[in-house]
Amino acid sequence: MEHVDAAAAHWPTTLTTEQFQLRLRRLLTRLDAQQEVPAHLTPEGRRRVEMLPTREDGIGCLRVIGPVPEILDLSRRLDAAARAVQAAQRRAVETGEPIPLDPRGTVAETGRISSLALLQYDLLGGAALDTDGVQVPRPRFRFNVTVPVLTLLGGAEEPGMLEGTIPLPAAMARELAGRSETWHRVLTDPCTGAFLPLPATRYTPTRAMLEHLRLRNATCAVPGCTRPTSWASEADHIEEYCHEDPERGGLTEIENLHLLCWQHHRAKTAGLLDPTRLPCTPGLPGRTAWSTDDRVQVLVRDNEDLASPSTTRELLDSWERYGARRDARRRALERRRNPPPAPPPPF
């Protein structure tokens, strides 16, 4: 900090905010270059694509991090491609030809050319991923959007849930459901929202069991881990399965299974993590106790459908209001049919 203060003290006071920030970043970069940086913190070591959380309903953010030359080259190629498509769209509108890169049909319908930002988004969304001949396995899970049935029917505005972790506005959830060819029913306890399990008796969990486990834990079951179970997760027996004598080991049933990221799966197999599934009451969310080296124990409660209890309360309140109105109408009708006797004359 002394070097930064000493250098900044000699800068002109007429610098704009942008000029000051540019000089400061340049200075900090030069000072960082004089120090030894671990490999994983260098621009090359920080190459990644990551999903960022946002506070806006229905909005997601994907960030690409890497060395500046590579990111700048990607940005320029994306910009050049978007500008070329935009010019082609403009010519197509003028000549009446088919509109290129118009997945939503907006340009054909309105005659207004797509913005560069939208074209860049569509180019990225439709890009083919070159895996250099590597066969990509079929996804283990379907793309999951959970929507309360009353929201689908337009009778409620409870949000849907994307992959069990991201709330979606009711209108967006209805639109996604309307575009889907197949719906899958999810059973939950109406009062607690606990997901009702499906049984199985073999070593490998069924697809239905995997889907149930993903609803029960949208992220790795280990406390504090935020890796989604939608991909790169592995099914694990809480009490180890005995291949020689299955009756002696943990059975392949919902209460003895959870989904772990591959790192924590290895840690549990190595004995570094010791989960215990606690006895549960039917209809209530279950609990798992996690201990590390017999020193720390954390209780993790299963996820539940947040919409079910709320919807149940709304239905019960609606029924009570209906009953009160019905009883009031019945009493009024009885009073009209059987009016009280007239009071005796005063004399």
Does 218 reside within a domain?
A: yes
Same domain for 25 and 62?
A: no
Residue type, 96: G
Q: Are residues 276 and 215 in the same domain?
A: yes
User: Based on the domain organization, do 150 and 117 belong to the same domain?
Assistant: no
Whether pTM exceeds 0.85: no
Residues 26 and 47 in one domain: no
Q: Is residue 140 part of a domain?
A: no
pLDDT digits (tens, 9 = 90+) for 92-120: 999 999 999 999 999 999 999 999 999 99
- Supply the pLDDT for residue 4: 83
**Is 106 among the domain residues?**
yes
Question: Residue 275 — φ and ψ, nearest 5°?
Answer: -85, 150
Task: Decide if 156 is inside a domain.
Answer: yes
- pLDDT at residue 7 tops 90: no
Among residues 264, 284, 301, which one ends one of the domains? 301
Are residue 224 and residue 268 in the same domain, yes or no? Answer: yes
Average pLDDT, stretch 14-25? 84
The mean pLDDT value of the chain amounts to 82
198 located within any domain: no
Q: What is the pLDDT of residue 82?
A: 93
By the 8 A CB rule, do 173 and 187 touch?
no
Q: What is the pLDDT of residues 225-269, one digit of tens each?
A: 888 887 768 889 888 877 666 666 678 888 889 999 888 998 888
| pLDDT of 130 over the 60 cut | yes
Question: Are 30 and 46 members of one domain?
Answer: no
String of DSSP letters for 224-271: T---BTTSSEEEEESSPP-SS-GGGS--SSGGGEEEEEHHHHHHHHTT
Residue 126 CA to residue 317 CA, distance in Å, equals 47
Residue where a domain stops, chosen among 79, 94, 125: 125
Q: Residues 34, 86: one domain?
A: no
Domain membership flag for residue 232: yes
Task: Examine the domain organization and report whether 156 and 92 are in the same domain.
Answer: no
Element (H, E) at 96: none
Query: Is 273 part of a structural domain of the chain?
Result: yes
What pLDDT was estimated at residue 156? 79
Indicate whether 65 and 35 sit together in one domain: no
Same domain, 289 and 220: yes
| One domain for residues 174 and 235 | no
192-204 average pLDDT score: 59
Q: Quick one: pLDDT at residue 91? A: 93
> Tokens for 110?
């309105």
Q: Strand, coil or helix: what is 148?
A: coil
If you average pLDDT over each of 90-99, 158-167, 296-305, which comes out highest?
90-99
Segment 127-131 shows an average pLDDT of 83
pLDDT digits (tens, 9 = 90+) for 170-195: 888 888 887 777 777 776 776 677 76
Specify if 308 maps to a domain: no
Handedness of CA 248, 251, 256, 261 (dihedral sign): positive
Which of these, 253, 260, 223, lies nearest to 239 by C-alpha position? 253
Q: Say how many C-beta atoms besides its own lie within 10 A of residue 194's C-beta.
A: 24
> Which residues form the domain of 29?
1-8+17-40
Q: Residues 288, 218: one domain?
A: yes
pLDDT at 22: 83
Residue type, position 57, single letter: D
Per the structure, the count of domains in the chain is 4
